[in-house]
Structure 1
Amino acid sequence: MAAPVTAAGFLGALRAEGLVVVEVGAWQTHNREGHGPWGPVHGVMIHHTVTQGTQYAVDLCRDGHSELPGPLCHGVIAKNGVVYLVGYGRANHAGLGDPDVLSAVIAERALPVDDEATVDGNRAFYGFECENLGDGVDPWPAVQLEAIERASAALCRVHGWGAGSVLGHLEWQPGKPDPRGFTMASMRARVAGRLQLPVLPPPPRPTRPVVDLSELIRAAKTDPGREGTPVSYAGVRVLEVALVDEGLLQKRFLDGHYGWSTRSAYSAWQESLGYWGRRPGEPADGVPGAFTLGVLARKHGFDVVG
């Protein structure tokens, strides 16, 4: 039995485990308060989203839908391994489940078959929704599986739990299939191995470059083919280094001009996060926005202003 950690402690544990974490809105206070208790907590539950596109999954898990209000979890683990925090506190993710399974999780022993749905799981488990169609065909990238492992281990460390405190939704509630595409036994083995590793303090942070979003947008919207001399801005070089590291841009253009190669590379980055053009089949526009640039900044160590 354990009291939930604070929202700050939750965020700190994930980052200490080496995860890239994106905070979505006022996630710290977005919850189902007033619709049942939150805690004591006993474990970490893993789900799949049955969705395609990171942004759609994040929005759905934050807001919910007409039949099930959000948040639908605490964090969304994207295919690229980034964890998006969408809520904290009681969340609509676990539902009712088997009391014998709960007892086994608390004791960290082998889980029995779930054949009842009588115990409130929303009060008892942290929940992560993982971006996947859940059809058994959609792949689970190695970086995403590692992020699930790290997120689970992070909370186990905070509470002094072992890997037996990690379970899948399919092990909790009869009829649930998630997560599908890997076994929870294999994930628990991964978590157990990670818990044997020490958490090392992060190295001192060097001075981080700063990129002005408004200047980037101005540079991106200037078309050299029509406007004459393109806008030159040093922050474009910082952006291009990150896009090279992502494998989306073949080389760095050091003149600070936001040319078509950079715009095409940024368009591919937007699409990797679930952003597309306004019409079906239309590519993303390649003009930086606060959300997509923020994710890139957190992954590649620069700050954003403007």
Structure 2
Amino acid sequence: MATPLTADQFISVLKNAGVRVVEHGSWRTHNRNHKGTWGPIHGVMVHHTGPYSTEAGMVELCRTGYTSLPGPLCHGVIDRSGTVHLVGYGRANHAGSGDRDVLNAVIAEETLPPDNEANADGNPHFYGFECINTGVGQRWPEAQLEAMHKVSAALCRAHGWTARSVIAHKEWQPGKPDPAGIAMADFRTAVAKLLGARPPSGSTLEKDKPVYAQFPGSEFFRTGRRSALITAMGKRLVAEGCGKYTKGPGPRWTDADRRSYAAWQRKLGYRGDDANGLPGQTSWTMLRVPKS
């Protein structure tokens, strides 16, 4: 439970997280506060937008809303490049009615119960991010997922929350599917790693499971780099059926490592520049390389 950040604090927190932020109109004062309270704030909620014609059009729709549901429909829209578009601040029409038991679990930072009721208003209590995705099998670009993780972790850090304070719309309101294709236990694992904390139970890094190596940054993986971490990564790529090695893997970063990692990225559904063989935060987290 906390007092919401001011708009200036909010944008500062996001920029300090290392994401690109674009401001739209008078977002600082664009809200639905005349319809009810804003705060106390308890957590962060992530959504997918659903079908869209253009990303710019979806950002504008989230800013203005429509007749039956006026905007803003969130605080930030995260596009597929990872850019965060700020469209409103304060009470927003994004969470709607959800399960009070879920709200209580978020406040207590406990395991979420099933969302089988819609008996609490979430709009006063969650920062909301709409993430551009059709929700019908469209892949999530790594840059977009990284931005989603970063903004969630940044807001948790600002309020002293753990990753348990980050939830999906589908965990809040019965019948909602968003964000489709994202396992929230893994999402919270990535947020917890950014916070430098042990992930919550129920995630992929529980107390009784192995400790995995933190992502060293894409610049770590360059020709000539030698590290036991590269060997550990290569062994995991082989275990996932993505090894392209004629010998090894070994501790020196080679083109075989890059080709193997590109195969892993393609296995995750990435294509084009997102499958260039250079590790990124999200694909690295999902590979689960043991700490050397």
Fold agreement, TM-score > 0.5: yes
Distance 2:151 2:117 in 1: 28
RMSD across aligned positions (CA): 0.9
Q: Which structure 1 residue ranges, 4+ long, deviate > 2 Å from structure 2? A: none
Matches within 5 A, 1:95-106: 95-106=96-107
1:120 corresponds to which residue? 121
Distance 2:71 2:104 in 1: 27
Distance 1:191 1:174 in 2: 24
Distance 1:51 1:105 in 2: 29
Query: Unpaired segments of 5 or more residues in structure 1?
Result: 198-306
2:4 corresponds to which residue? 4
1:80 corresponds to which residue? 81
Q: Displacement of 1:51 after TM fit?
A: 3.0
Distance 2:181 2:56 in 1: 22
Matching residue's letter, 2:156: C
Distance 2:94 2:170 in 1: 12
SS for the counterpart of 2:33 is coil
Q: Displacement of 1:80 after TM fit?
A: 0.2
1:62 corresponds to which residue? 63
Distance 1:8 1:131 in 2: 24
Q: Displacement of 1:107 after TM fit?
A: 1.0
Matches within 5 A, 1:101-250: 101-135=102-136, 137-196=137-196
SS for the counterpart of 1:147 is helix
Distance 2:65 2:185 in 1: 29
Matching residue's letter, 2:194: R
Distance 2:196 2:70 in 1: 38
Matching residue's letter, 1:127: G
Matches within 5 A, 1:26-65: 26-52=26-52, 53-65=54-66
Over the matched positions of the two proteins, sequence identity in percent amounts to 60
State the TM-score, normalized to the length of structure 1.
0.63
Distance 2:48 2:66 in 1: 16
Matching residue's letter, 1:115: N
2:15 corresponds to which residue? 15
Q: Tell me the matched-pair count.
A: 196
State the TM-score, normalized to the length of structure 2.
0.66
